[in-house]
Structure 1
Amino acid sequence: MPQPQLKTIPTNIITGFLGAGKTTAILHLLRHKPDNERWAVLINEFGEIGVDGTLVQGTHTEEDGIFVREVPGGCMCCTAGLPMQIALNQLLAKARPHRLLIEPTGLGHPAEVLQTLAAEHYREVLSIQKTITLVDARKLADARYTSHDTFNQQIAIADLVVGNKQDLYDEADRACLEAYVQEKGSPGTPVEYVIQGAIDPQWLKGPASLVVPAYRPRPAQAPNARLLGTPGSTLASSQGEGYESIGWRFDAGQVFDYGKLLAFLTGLEAERMKAAFITDRGVFGYNLTRDGLTEIELDDLAESRFEAIATPVDSRWESRLQDCLLT
């Protein structure tokens, strides 16, 4: 018997610049998913390796009613949106979800994501609800953020701006964020504040404004992949939007020394780093921002992955990662 047609799936974009806490917020939302619902998550990453999907799948499974699909390698709307459309169609067909969450890369173009979702062939399938933009208000003092077109686009398309990591703010940070949203955002865009991405699931509900400025599709970047000297390991790198990324994948036979690995990750100088590793003490996921390194224990892992965004990347990371492998 054919499946009934998918219709009006509530769909939210969760966006924000590097280190704003998008993945943490999505993990929080998934923990509060109604037990009788299936949710789908489409994750886009700037780098070629892709780690966010691994971190989500390491804590939530399809048996829990959570389905995840990744689109690595820059903005998923490049080359007329085909990477995103293919991944989205496959995800919807498999999950048949009650809600869809989309996390564009922090260096991606959320207005183009909205354009793709609003296309005619998705008009009856998706019900576009609020776009939530996460911001670390302390970053407004950094010209690399406020002068970046993507950062400002994320503010401009937001139906709700969430000041994440509010426990690290002072009153001036709050005032600065609210003034910036008033200047760059749509009129009347509300601002809420949370700690550790604890978005209220009720904030997802309600229609999006869908006032999307016109953006032309951008050419996709070709990945640069090569084998490492260690068998079973692959490197991939890319660059764009003023940043570089580098990452590695290690097959399940590559096991890391937990102590050496933690020392390496703690000392990294990067704008952003995410990783998931099979170690001699278990399976762990890592998240590095300017505020420090966090670690979570994962249930399972098919392979180890590491990805960092920096300006520029450090050529010594390759040999230092190799030194962390158990012989």
Structure 2
Amino acid sequence: MTKPTDTIANVPTSIISGFLGVGKTTAIRRLLSQKPRNERWAVLVNEFGEVGVDASLIEADTSTEKEVFLREVPGGCMCCTNGLPMQMALNQLLSRARPHRLLIEPTGLGHLEEVIGTLSSGFNQKTIQLKAVITLIDARMLNQDRYLKNDTFIQQIKCADIIIGNKHDLYESDDKDRLLTFTSNQCGPEIEVIFSEQGTFDLDLLDRSSRYIEQCPPPHEHHNPIETQLTELTIPDSGYVVASNTGDGFVSTGFRFDSRFVFNSIQLRLMLQGLDIERFKGVFRTNEGCIILNLAGGVLTELSVPYCEESRCEALGEELPDDTTAKLFNSLASWEGM
């Protein structure tokens, strides 16, 4: 196991990848719960949206006392050639944490092959040591052509050293066999497939070696480089900020609301149950306390958290309803400016 020293080198690094809504963030939270007490871990989260919701969901599991350190890179794929914010965030995270282990969660729309190329080239070759690439997949997605015809979805599977068939408890009778056949065809019969519920899998998988890190190409250029770190900006006097991003046939709209905004939990649930989009995720200050709401594959899940400083959420899909912002404001229980 790597020991923290004045020189940061060969930090064991695991990429936890997968398409939108497969449970990557939940899996990372499960891994953090298994962290040995005598180790320091670091987590780098990359999101398609500008707001950085996933980092907020993980934040409750991170602190100096827990020796878990978090850094986020919102606003696009981290493999962009203009991705200076990603390299800066990685360097700052490693310098601050001096970790025994690094976990990286790329955006669900990230080009995994290029992400691996970025992280295994240049200065990164000395500072981090890439381990097995772990890709989560929900086998129910294999019933839908929009995933089977999506190049990013396919690439994330082909690049994997280990496949985690997540949400196994929700599968129909033939979903498991369909996943085994599909991954064998895409990756070869030697690919290891492990089935999981709620993102839980053995910590030992993080120490597996990768089979073809050296084969990955250098990073490519994207049309939407990260220009600002919205998550680090001060929220204006209005108390909220909205930001959008587009790419790879998807659009996202993200929101940040300061602590003056308190949402009605019942209205939020009703709004999300009637929302027909690819993904919605958020952490909210509500009249019932702080909650995490996650809509993926038409299924809404909820989790209580002890504290959140502000509310953050993101809607993502091929198209988004024009009244998304209005619906959010209609879900407010109170605001000091009302």
User: Are 2:310 and 1:307 aligned?
Assistant: no
Alignment of 1:7-46 (within 5 A): 7-46=9-48
Task: Give the counterpart of 1:219 among 215, 218, 222.
Answer: 222
What corresponds to 2:158 in structure 1? 156
Contact in 2 for aligned 1:161/1:190 (Cα 8 Å): yes
User: Given that residues 77 and 83 in structure 1 are in contact (C-alpha distance below 8 angstroms), is that contact kept between their aligned partners in structure 2?
Assistant: no
Q: In structure 2, what residue type is equivalent to 1:162?
A: I
| Corresponding position: 1:271 with 2:274 | no
Q: 1:212 to 1:267 in 2, by over 3 A?
A: farther
Query: Could you say which residue in structure 2 is the equivalent of 1:109?
Result: 111
Give 1:200 deviation, angstroms: 1.1
Out of 222, 227, 237, the position equivalent to 2:244 is: 237
Aligned partners of 1:150, 1:59: CA distance in 2, in Å? 29
1 CA distance for matches of 2:113 and 2:123?
18
Aligned to 2:291: 284
1: distance between equivalents of 2:85 and 2:146?
A: 28
Q: Conserved in 2, the CA contact under 8 Å of 1:114 and 1:212?
A: no
TM-score, with structure 1 as normaliser: 0.93
- Sort the Cα spacing of 1:80 and 1:185 in 2 relative to 1 into closer, same or farther, 3 A: farther
Kindly tell me: are residues 182 and 211 of structure 1, through their superposed partners in 2, closer, same or farther at Cα, counting changes over 3 Å? farther
Measured against aligned partners, the alpha-carbon deviations of 1:48-85 in whole angstroms (never above 9, x if no partner) come to: 11100001103432321111111111111213442321
State the distance in 2 between where 1:48 and 1:212 align.
Answer: 31
Aligned match for 1:261, one of 260, 268, 271: 268
CA apart distance, 1:211? 4.4
Q: Give the secondary-structure state (helix, strand or coil) at the position aligned to 2:271.
A: helix
Greater Cα offset, 289-298 or 69-78: 289-298
Q: Using the alignment, how far apart are the partners of 2:104 and 2:61 within structure 1? A: 18
* Off by >3 Å, runs of 4+ in structure 1: 222-225
Indicate conservation of the 8 Å contact 2:46/2:105, yes or no.
yes
Note if contact 1:158-1:186 (Cα within 8 Å) is conserved in structure 2.
Answer: no
Cα deviation code 1:11-31 (max 9, x no counterpart): 000000111111111111011
Gaps of 5+ in 1: none
Give identity over the alignment, percent.
Answer: 44
Alignment of 1:161-172 (within 5 A): 161-172=163-174
Equivalent residues of 2:240, 2:255 under 8 A apart = yes
1:316 pairs with one of 312, 323, 326: 323
Give the Cα separation in 1 of the matches to 2:180 and 2:310.
Answer: 42
Deviation (angstroms), 1:229: 12
- Tell me the SS of whatever aligns to 2:152: helix
User: Whole-Å Cα distance in 2 between the matches of residues 65 and 183 of structure 1?
Assistant: 41
- Mapped partners of 2:270, 2:30: distance in 1: 28
Which whole-Å CA distance do the structure 1 matches of 2:265 and 2:174 have between them? 40
Which of 182, 194, 201 lines up with 2:203 in the alignment?
201
User: What code does the residue aligned with 1:158 have?
Assistant: A
Gaps of 5+ in 2: none
1:12–1:131 contact (8 Å) kept in structure 2: yes
Moved more, 120-129 or 211-220: 211-220
| Number of the residue aligned with 1:298 | 305
Q: What SS does the corresponding residue of 2:157 show, helix, strand or coil?
A: helix
Mapped partners of 2:254, 2:191: distance in 1:
37
Greater mean deviation of Cα atoms: 100-109 or 279-288? 279-288
Partner of 1:118: 120
Name the amino acid aligned to 1:21: G
Structure 1 residue 115, shift from structure 2 partner: 1.0
Asked if structure 1 preserves the Cα contact closer than 8 Å seen for 2:242 and 2:255, the reply is yes
Check the 8 A contact 1:74/1:220 in 2, yes or no.
no
* Equivalent residue number for residue 145 of structure 2: 143
2:250/2:316 contact within 8 Å kept: yes
For residues 26 and 45 of structure 2, the distance between their equivalents in structure 1, rounded to whole angstroms, comes to: 13
